[in-house]
Amino acid sequence: MAAYVRSAPFANQPYRVSAKFRCSGIERMIDIFLPQIAKGRDAIKDLTELMRIAQTRYGHLYNCTPGT
């Protein structure tokens, strides 16, 4: 899920992306919150790509394969 949420209590970090995934059979969840996105950028597309990178990096750090 990727979203822009302006209402309290999220006003200080309105750009949010969360993903629940399996890594070598174990369920995991990553949440990323950002206060701003550079002007002219596609926030949802960038957040989605950032999450893909985070999941891949998680797999490298914990020696597992995301999605399995």
Give residue 6's pLDDT. 83
Give residue 17's pLDDT. 93
Cα(27)–Cα(19) distance, integer angstroms: 11
Give residue 7's pLDDT. 80
- In the chain, the N- to C-terminal Cα span, in Å, equals 19
Q: Is residue 59 part of a domain?
A: no
pLDDT, averaged per 10 consecutive residues of the chain (68 residues), comes to 82 90 88 92 94 92 84
Note down the domain range covering 12: 1-35
pTM beyond cutoff 0.95:
no
Give residue 10's pLDDT. 72
Q: Is residue 53 part of a domain?
A: no
Give residue 66's pLDDT. 81
Total domain count, the chain: 1
Residue with tokens 């302006």: 6
Q: Is residue 1 part of a domain?
A: yes
Q: Which helix (H) or strand (E) holds 22?
A: strand 15-23
How would you classify residue 18: left for phi > 0, otherwise alpha for psi between -120 and 50, otherwise beta?
beta
